[in-house]
Amino acid sequence: MMSRVKSMNMFRFLLLVAVSVLMISCGPKPQQPLSQLDTPEHHTFTGIRLLDQEKFADAGREFELALRLDPRYSKAHAGAGLVKAYQGDFKGAFESLKQAEKHARSDEEKIFVLVGYIRANTVSHAACLHIGTSCKPDDAWVKYSKDAFDQAVIIDPKAASPYYFMGECYLTALDLDQAGRLFSRVLDMNREHVGEADRRWKLVQKIQRAMPGTITGKKIALIERITRADVAALFMEELKIDTLYARRTPKNFDTAFKDPERARTAASRLVTATDIADHPLKADIEGILRIGTRGLEVYPDGTFRPDEQVDRASYAMMIEDILIKVTGDNALATRFIGSPSPFPDLRADLPYFNAVMVVTSRGIMEAKDIVTGEFAPLHPVGGADALLVIRKIREELRY
C-alpha cells in the first residue's frame, strides 16, 4: 500500500514538473543573439538613427529585433511606439509607450520615454498645421506634453532632447515665443540636437520678422515648399490684395448699355477652376482668380493645380505683376530688358529675368546664396520667405 502511495506521489511530482516546463517553454523567451552586434542596444541605436531619417519601416524592423532579444527593453518599446505614431497608429503608439514606461529603469530610459510621449503627442496633432484647422497652445495635448517635459527636466536638467522636442511641440501649436525660447536653450546647452535647433530657431526668428497676422499665415510660414494654393491664401489673407487693388488701381466706369438678363447671368457665374471644389483654400483661390494675378491663372485645361509647388522665378513674376498694378507703372514690365544679368545662374534672355530684376532691385527678394550670388530661380519658395516678401511689399507701399 505504501509503495502504491509513493508511486502516486512520484507520478504527481513528475506531472507537475512536466507542466511547469511546458508553461515556461510556451511563454515569451528572449531570442538568442546571432552575432556580437545582435544585441537589443545595437538594434535600438540603429532604429533611432533610421527613425530620425524618416525610414519608418526599417526603424520598426530594428526595434522589433531588439524586442525579440529582450522583450522588456524600454527604449525599444518607446522607439516602436514612435514608429507607430509616425505611421498614424496613435493608439498603438501610446500602448507601446506605456510598455516602455513600465520597463524603464535608468534615468536615461525614463527621459527617452517621456520625450517619446512629447513626440507622439506632437505627431498626432501635426494636422493642426493643415489649413482649415485651429490649434491653440493651451490645448490638452500641449499640456500633456508639458507635463512630460517637466518630469524629464526634473530627472536631468541638462538633457537637451526634452527641450528640443518640446520646442517642436510648441511650434506645431503655433506658439512661436515658447518654441523660440526652447530652441535657444538647446543652443545654449551645446549638446544634442544643436544643428536641428539652430535651423528651427532661425525659422522662428524669420517668421517673427515676417509678422504673419493670420492663423493661415502662421501655418504656411512653417511649410518648406509652398504651393499655388498657399500663395493665393497669402495674397488674399496676409497682403489683402483685393483691398490693396481697390485702393491703388484706377477705377474704370463702363456706362454703356448692358442687357439686364446677360448682366445677371455674368454676375452669377463665378470664376473658378475644375479641381478646387473640395480644397480648403477654395475661397482664396477664387478670390485670386477674380482679381487676376500673373502666374496664378487657370490653366488651359480649366484646372488651377492648387498643390503645384511654386519656385522663386514664378513668385518673382507674381510680385512683379502686383507691383505694376498697384503702382500703375507699366514700364516695370520691360525696365530691365537688354540689361546684363548680375546673377551667375540667370540669363538675361529668360522670360522671368525682368521680374527677378524688378524684385531684387527693390530689395523685395534677394540672392539665394550671398556667397556665390546665385538667385536659384527654380528653387522652391519657403513659407517664411514668402511672408517676408509680403511684408516688404507692404512696407514699400506704405512709404
Angle (CA) 37 53 221, round 5°: 160
Regarding predicted confidence, which is higher, 44 or 16? 44
Q: Which pLDDT tens digit goes with each residue over 141-175?
A: 999 999 999 999 999 999 999 999 999 999 999 99
Alpha helix positions (H), 87-130:
90-103, 107-124
In terms of Cα–Cα distance, which of 106, 105, 118 is closest to 164?
118
Regarding predicted confidence, which is higher, 139 or 22? 139
- DSSP of 185-236: HHHHHTBTBHHHHHHHHHHHHHHHHH---SHHHHHHHT-SS-BHHHHHHIII
Regarding predicted confidence, which is higher, 397 or 341? 341
| Alpha-carbon dihedral sign for residues 281, 282, 287, 293 | positive
303 sits in the region (left: phi over 0; alpha: psi -120 to 50; else beta) called: beta
Residue 48 CA to residue 34 CA, distance in Å, equals 21
The DSSP code for 251 is P
How much is the pLDDT for 271? 77
Residue 67 CA to residue 29 CA, distance in Å, equals 10
- Residue pair 153/145 in contact (Cβ under 8 Å)? The answer is no
* pLDDT reading at 324 higher than 80: yes
Cβ neighbours around 330 below 10 Å, total? 9
pTM exceeding the 0.95 threshold for the entire prediction: no
**3-class DSSP string for 149-177:** HHHHHHHCCCCCHHHHHHHHHHHHCCCHH
What are the C-alpha distances in Å from 19 to residues 5, 6, 9, 37, 278? 21, 20, 15, 36, 63
In terms of Cβ atoms closer than 10 Å to its own Cβ (0-12, 13-18, 19+), residue 252 is exposed
What is the share, in percent, of the chain residues with pLDDT greater than 90? 77
Banded pLDDT at 382 (limits 50, 70, 90) = very high
Q: Which pLDDT tens digit goes with each residue over 41-59?
A: 999 999 999 999 999 999 9
Low-confidence winner among 7-21, 44-58, 223-237 (lowest mean pLDDT) = 7-21
In terms of Cα–Cα distance, which of 325, 309, 290, 332 is closest to 381?
309
Banded pLDDT at 21 (limits 50, 70, 90) = very low
Banded pLDDT at 258 (limits 50, 70, 90) = low
Banded pLDDT at 246 (limits 50, 70, 90) = confident
Give all domains of the chain, ordered by start, each with its CATH number. Answer: 38-104 (1.25.40.10), 106-210 (1.25.40.10), 224-249+267-398 (no CATH)
| Structure-block grid coordinates of residue 313 | 522665378
Banded pLDDT at 27 (limits 50, 70, 90) = very low
* pLDDT reading at 318 higher than 90: yes
Banded pLDDT at 128 (limits 50, 70, 90) = confident
Q: Which pLDDT tens digit goes with each residue over 271-302?
A: 789 999 999 999 999 999 999 999 999 999 99
Mean pLDDT value across the chain: 88
Cβ neighbours around 132 below 10 Å, total? 10
In terms of Cα–Cα distance, which of 245, 204, 242 is closest to 387?
204
Low-confidence winner among 78-87, 242-251, 369-378, 382-391 (lowest mean pLDDT) = 242-251
